[in-house]
Chains A and B, each alone.
Chain A
Amino acid sequence: MPEPLLSVRDLEVSFATDEGVVQAVDGVSFDIGQGEILAVVGESGSGKSVSAMTLMGLTRSPNARFSGSAMYKGEDLISASDERLQDVRGAEIAMIFQDPMSSLNPVQKIGAQIVEQIQAHEALPDAQARERVVELLERVGIPRARERIDSYPFEFSGGMRQRVMIALALSCDPNVLIADEPTTALDVTIQAQILQRIRSLRDETGAAVILVTHDLGVVADIADRVAVMYAGRIVEQGSLDDIFYDPQHPYTWGLLGSITRVDKPRPARLPAIAGLPPSLADRPEGCHFRPRCPHEFAKCTEVPPLEARVEGGQHLDRCWLTVEQKRSDREVLPGEIGLRSKEGAPA
């Protein structure tokens, strides 16, 4: 693998709250290279958005504590000053946020909001900036872009707003695009179009894309590599084929359902896994997945490191079971849903 574009190491984010310290991100490490699409999947609350936002210095709660590093072009984004990050944000690393309904300023015209970003990074006269915006809006599939550039966000549907957000993110040709569930709010056809946009951005500019999603269909469609997050940790990481055809972590099995049934269509959404994710303020020692895992044994009270256990070295996971155990256990799991709660009562 060539020199990665962005290299995240041991990223930790915690929040001091009334209920105690919430460890939202707990030692996340990954690399992403040019032109690569990394999908990050995991249950709600597993720390996907917080990780992504922290990379851009957008986790701004005064109660937040950070550690770790994120090297981008030889520079650490986590310890960088806000002034330095201002140059990076929008221009080199851009982000599409989870909620398109509230992520645009309600009292500013959408064109002006995009022009603002362009002019923050390039000395471009108004007329040219507007021209670029029209082009961008057309590129993300907004009809009659020249007229709609002076519309307010409330005049757009959710899908249209999400496209505006994408146009905004693409407006300065970023090297890294972080897309936080860009298609969750949209219907299937629009979803497909938007994924197509993201793919063509990657193809045209060679940008790296970090795609946060709940949707395994999307992952299978577009991702080169996959990271699976659980309770603030990456529990498994590998190529698309590694994750889909040779998953190593029991949590991943749960996500995928019965992986042996490759002949069946994959579940579109993450299937429900019995039991609840742990409270981030009070997580179990050792492997966080332990209380919900049917394969728990003594060693699980120690934290399993994220390392390559499968031959080849690129497929990492955090499970103490031997590769042989995993491969045989996941085969015999009953039913379509890989896991049952240990108490035997499905939630």
Chain B
Amino acid sequence: MATEPATEFALEGPSALQGEPRRRGTAGMGPWRLAFRRLRSNRVAVVFGFVFVVLVAVCLAAPLWADHVAHTDPYKNHLTDTVIVDGEKKDVVTPDGIPIGPTWQGEFFLGADGNGRDTMVRLLYGGRNSLLIGVAAALITTFLSIVVGVLAGFFRGFTDTVLSRTMDVIWAFPVVLLGVALGTALTLSGLQIGPVDISGRSKLIPILIIAIVYVPYMARPIRGQVLSLREKEFVEAARAQGAGSLRIMLSEILPNLSSTVIVFFPLMVANAILLEAALGFLGVGVQPPEASWGTMIGDGVKHILSGPHLAIVPGVMLVVTVLALNIFGDGVRDAFDPRAKIHLEH
């Protein structure tokens, strides 16, 4: 999980990607169609990809559940309310503070938390936050990594030295520690860059933290690939035809990075979700009263003695989501890197 994806990306990601560069036009579709076909024939990966889509859909439907089934919202506490389960009237939270467990009916489907809030509703809204942060962070990481990797790899020299050394320094920090340090500093006083003023409570803070922390892991392999791409004939050809640097980067280099990016993206989202959970657990992620799966696990662990379901439920959602992404991402990598597949047959 979030502690050290150093390992995973460094060794498994990039190897995928040093394949033949793709030239647009003539044979351009070949490897893509091939990869897509390989992915489709990997039933496990397809099933888990589908699981992820379903999870996203379910979380997006959170307001529907809240309004029409649970008749509450994720923040409203029902400390002194009662609910009728199997014709029996029960307290949502008993006088000595034990919240109700799963009722398996519309209201309090998965029980309540210590503040008498509906766990199912919070789980769905929390999932929206976890997924939002994960996907947004992964998108930003990808964007930054491409910018850094392409600039460093294409211009080499001084640009490369500056960017690469900066990446090395970020790399030197353990992911969680760096996230936590940034989280602590930024949660206290927010972030002001020129006219932009982000409050410490904003969800943008964890998104940015996670995005930045993971940049070196993705920028390094991209830089490596750009270094080799820039020596290829078609880049030489474009240069000979008088194309400028920007033009070459956008129309010759970038398209050839797409398989790298596709392979990295699901794994990036998975790791971002995990890191968000860790930050949330430590209190420097999503700020209350909003929830994410990480903060819900954190709350659940604190009150585990009064009902383990509060820790189990968000954890299971989180693990299933991340697992689905990891298995799907694995399938994508195998599809784009047949070498890995060949091993299976040996």
Contact = CB atoms under 8 A, between A and B. Distances in A.
Interface in A53-80: 61-63
Nearest to A62: B346
B197 interface: no
A5 B48 CA distance: 59
B199 to A, nearest CB: 55
Q: Which secondary structure dominates where chain A touches chain B? A: loop
Contacts of A61: 346
Nearest to B345: A63
A61 B346 CA distance: 7
Nearest to A60: B346
Interface string B302-346: 000000000000000000000000000000000000000000011
Q: Chain A, interface size: which category?
A: under 10
Contacts of A62: 346
B24 to A, nearest CB: 27
A63 B345 CA distance: 8
A63 B344 CA distance: 12
A62 B346 CA distance: 6
A175 B346 CA distance: 33
A62 B345 CA distance: 8
A61 B345 CA distance: 10
B228 to A, nearest CB: 22
A294 B128 CA distance: 74
Nearest to A17: B345
A138 to B, nearest CB: 40
A61 B343 CA distance: 11
A38 to B, nearest CB: 32
A149 to B, nearest CB: 34
Contacts of A63: 345
Interface string A172-205: 0000000000000000000000000000000000
B339 to A, nearest CB: 14
A150 to B, nearest CB: 31
Contacts of B346: 61-62
A176 B346 CA distance: 30
A19 to B, nearest CB: 13
A152 to B, nearest CB: 24
Contacts of B345: 63
Nearest to B338: A18
Nearest to A63: B345
A22 to B, nearest CB: 14
A235 to B, nearest CB: 32
Instruction: For the complex of A and B, list the 3 residue pairs with the smallest distance between their C-beta atoms, beginning with the closest.
Output: A62-B346, A61-B346, A63-B345
3 contacts: A61-B346, A62-B346, A63-B345
Interface of B: 345-346
